Structure 1
Amino acid sequence: MQRAMRLLECVAHHEHGAPAKQLAREAGLALPTAYHLLRTLAHEGYLRREKGLFFLGEAAELLSSSGAQQKRRSTVSEALAQWRDSIGVPVYYAVYRAGEIELQCVADTPGNPAVEEWADFRETGHAHAIGQCLLSQLDEEDRRDHLDRHPVQSITPYTVRDGHALLQRLQSTGRMQPVIERQEYALGTVCAAIPITAGTTAATMAISLPLRQADRLLPAARRLQSEIGRLLGTLAISITI
């Protein structure tokens, strides 16, 4: 296994491919051993051979993509945990993908628990700050399409009353302003969501607090927004997670 991995690493360093003899030399392997391993790796799809040169195959590229994806997820999770601890609030990360709201990561503690998802987040985007923030980043056609599939419905006495009222609210939302929601999804809870856009993908980070701590919501949201602004480039917050 270690010898096969050495060969894969050697192939990865040659964008334009490399012959077996060169790969054997770089991996420190006898040529017959290298030939055997290269043929096996090619048969399994980890390498492909063209005109005597070896390139990474589809299976190896999938592994690389999966590893990169896991690394991005880990990076985002670590960032959320850091902000959770420094600001003292639960932190959420969500994206809008393929017409649906996807809650990707949540960082909370027993002392500062996240909001319980008692009604499907995907179907109740009109009622929580995460969904409202994501919908505010869409164009009008996509918003209407989403609401056709997931109509506005009363979740609490404070939920927006109908689709027209929601669309008006979304249209008036400032481009990079936090979206504030008070008890529209869960009684006794207030939330704020901050828009993050990369390319054509909408994303958001959000926080929640008990209603009795509502005065902390906006300052905490502003602090999170500031932290995101400083770290977004180095974090490469993976909108493509």
Structure 2
Amino acid sequence: MTARDTGMASVQKAFALLDVVAGNPRGATAKDISAELGMPLPSVYRLLRTLVASEHVVHLRDQRRYGLGYKLHALDASLHQQVATPATVRRAVGELHASADAAAYFAVHRGDAIVVAHVVDSPRRPRITPMDFGFTDAAHATAFGKILLSRLDEHEVADYLGRHGMRPLTDRTLSTPEDLGRELGRVRAEGIAVEREEFVPGASCLAAPVVDAAGRTLGSVAVSLPPADFEQRHRSIAPVLRDAADRVGRALRAAEGCPAGSATG
């Protein structure tokens, strides 16, 4: 094994360790991490010392546990800046939330991931848990994910599924590439995507594409509702959603012509 291979393995282990620490609200002990990752304790302690020194992990000595470090806050702030949603887009998503009386979402394709960039909800119409800023999971089971996948060709979709898989989340989740391919064909034909309790039980979604002047997809807007409300209202919400997608597209095109940062306040 080369030094480069060893270094890459260490980086992967460090990220896996951070995932374990982040997975428990109270943090994790070294023994917890060792058991979760199947990693010898000496290796766990060696990585922990490195991460504590870099401030990505903090040692909670009185609890004999390790928690996330404060350096990660700066990373989170930088991520929000890099996936910044212009203020005009945020307003349009907020207006969609109000006019559709539903939780509203804006998602984009960033790198090889489909990511939620902005959410507007309320106590009456809460967002789907855990669908918050930065959510990148289960595009095959979400309406906005289907919209963005439908804009890829067959080989690109296969590559995406090869990287991300098609994890079954409910008994309604599409389970094969063939099923998803047929669904994406319907999305392309109709210009709208529907998801009925495929991601989580108790929530259904509707999504529309956000396009530029040339017809290229820039993102997707979506709404979610309890299934009973969804069945009663999704047909009347569809034109409201399409109008919001058009307004978001115009806002994004306008923002591209602004100086950097001027449209994100």
TM-score band by shorter chain is: 0.5 to 0.7
Tell me if 1:193 matches 2:207: yes
Which residue of the partner structure matches residue 140 of structure 1? 154
- 2:88 aligns to what? 75
Cα separation, 2, equivalents of 1:168 and 1:237: 35
* Amino acid aligned to 1:222: P
Out of 210, 223, 227, the residue aligned to residue 211 of structure 1 is 227
How many residues align structurally?
175
The verdict on how the C-alpha distance between 1:117 and 1:167 changes in structure 2, with shifts beyond 3 A counting, is: same
Matches within 5 A, 1:111-130: 111-117=124-130, 121-130=135-144
CA distance in 2 between partners of 1:205 and 1:237 (Å): 18
Letter in 1 for 2:100: I
Moved over 2 A (4+): 118-123, 171-176, 197-202, 226-241
Counterpart AA for 1:191: C
Rate the CA distance shift 1:227–1:118 in 2: closer, same or farther, 3 A. Answer: closer
Amino acid at match of 2:201: L
Measured after TM superposition, the shift of residue 87 of structure 1 is: 2.1
Aligned mates of 2:167, 2:251 — CA distance in 1: 40
- The residue aligned with 1:102 is 115
RMSD between superposed Cα atoms in Å: 3.1
Equivalent in the alignment of 1:28: none
CA contact (8 A) 1:192 1:221 kept: yes
Change (3 A) 1:238 1:196: farther
Native 8 Å contact 2:103 2:122 kept in 1? yes
Larger Rg: 1
CA spacing shift, 1:141–1:167, aligned 2, 3 Å: same
Gap regions ≥5 residues in structure 2: 1-80
Q: 1:237 to 1:177 in 2, by over 3 A?
A: farther
String of CA shifts for 1:86-139, please: whole Å, max 9, x gaps. Answer: 221111000112111111000111111111127994231111111111101112
1:1-241 to structure 2, matched below 5 A, reads 73-117=86-130, 121-175=135-189, 177-198=191-212, 200-214=216-230, 215-229=232-246, 232-233=249-250, 236=253
Q: Which amino acid aligns with 1:154?
A: P
Q: In percent, how many aligned pairs have the same letter? A: 28
Deviations 1:28-84 (A, max 9, x none): xxxxxxxxxxxxxxxxxxxxxxxxxxxxxxxxxxxxxxx9x96x5211111111221
CA spacing shift, 1:202–1:143, aligned 2, 3 Å = farther
Distance in 2 separating the partners of 1:93 and 1:118:
11
Secondary structure of 2:188's counterpart equals: coil
Distance change in 2, residues 1:139/1:78 (3 Å) = same
Give ranges in structure 1 of 5+ residues lacking alignment: 1-66
Contact (CA 8 Å) 2:96, 2:241: kept in 1 or not? yes
Secondary structure of the 2:199 match is: coil
- Checking the alignment, whether the CA contact within 8 Å between 1:151 and 1:163 is kept in structure 2 is no
User: If the length of structure 1 is used for normalisation, what is the TM-score?
Assistant: 0.63
Tell me which amino acid in the other structure corresponds to 1:89. A
Q: Deviation per CA, 1:150-172, whole angstroms, max 9, x where unpaired? A: 11121001101212211222133
